[in-house]
């Protein structure tokens, strides 16, 4: 039976996000977007992963199967609150 492939949005563009992004892409999953509070970092990682990056979290893709929050511990609550507003 073939493995299920997921559509994924990565929130964050640091070391953890980078390693997860490459590992997930290598496993055959689709990275829909890289979202970051730092647009230049998001652009850099999105370019490497050959995917899109919105200018801010308000433009996050809402069709993903999985949303990975790979940000600094201090930023997690802020990200979660922003995502709650997208419901």
Which range of residues forms the domain containing residue 68?
7-84
Write down the mean pLDDT value for the chain.
92
Q: Is residue 1 part of a domain?
A: no
Q: Is residue 2 part of a domain?
A: no
**34-68 b/e with 16+ CB inside 10 Å = b?**
bbbbeeebbebbbeebebebbeebeebeeebeebb
Q: Mean pLDDT across the stretch 18-46? A: 96
Q: pTM for this structure? A: 0.91
Q: Is residue 42 part of a domain?
A: yes
Report the alpha-carbon distance of residue 68 to residue 24 in Å, rounded. 11
Q: Mean pLDDT across the stretch 21-31? A: 97
**CATH number of the domain encompassing residue 18:** 3.40.50.720
pLDDT value, residue 58: 83
How many domains in the chain?
A: 1
pLDDT value, residue 16: 97
pLDDT tier at 47, thresholds 50, 70, 90: very high
Q: Is residue 21 part of a domain?
A: yes
């Amino acid at each position: 039976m073939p493995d299920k492939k997921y559509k994924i949005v990565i929130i964050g563009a640091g070391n953890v996000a980078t390693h997860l992004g490459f590992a997930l892409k290598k496993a055959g999953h689709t990275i829909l977007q890289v979202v970051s509070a730092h647009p230049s970092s998001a652009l850099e990682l999105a370019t490497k992963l050959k995917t899109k990056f919105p200018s801010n979290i308000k433009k996050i893709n809402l069709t993903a199967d999985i949303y990975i929050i790979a940000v600094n511990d201090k930023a997690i609550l802020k990200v979660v609150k922003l995502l709650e507003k997208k419901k």
